[in-house]
Amino acid sequence: GESVGLHLPTLSVQEGDNSIINCAYSNSASDYFIWYKQESGKGPQFIIDIRSNMDKRQGQRVTVLLNKTVKHLSLQIAATQPGDSAVYFCAESVTGGGNKLTFGTGTQLKVEL
């Protein structure tokens, strides 16, 4: 079936550096995308979202880029901090598709001091 996947299972960065987490999706009908942060033993925490009529959206220290041509999504974290260490998931959804989210496989971000 349709799936959302990630290229890197683990990403290690130095504190203060920028992080880029990538996600490939396969459902061309998806029109809403979300990045979640999940710390160990906790539920997913919303970071940022983007709709298919946009290709870039910025938040506080985070930027999401959407390339619909190649079905690619990325999350950029500026000045990565130790508190950013977590697993990051992208998720996709189709408006009118029962509001269901399909999650990617996740990337473990490790911030080294």
| Complex with another protein: residue 11 or 101, whichever CB lies closer | 101
**Spatial separation of the C-alpha atoms in residues 97 and 99, rounded to whole Å:** 5
| Complex with another protein: residue 84 or 92, whichever CB lies closer | 92
Assign residue 17 a region (left: φ > 0; alpha: ψ between -120 and 50; beta: otherwise): beta
**Shortest Å distance, C-beta 55 to another protein:** 17
**Shortest Å distance, C-beta 76 to another protein:** 21
53: CB partners within 8 A, 6+ apart: 31
**Shortest Å distance, C-beta 105 to another protein:** 5
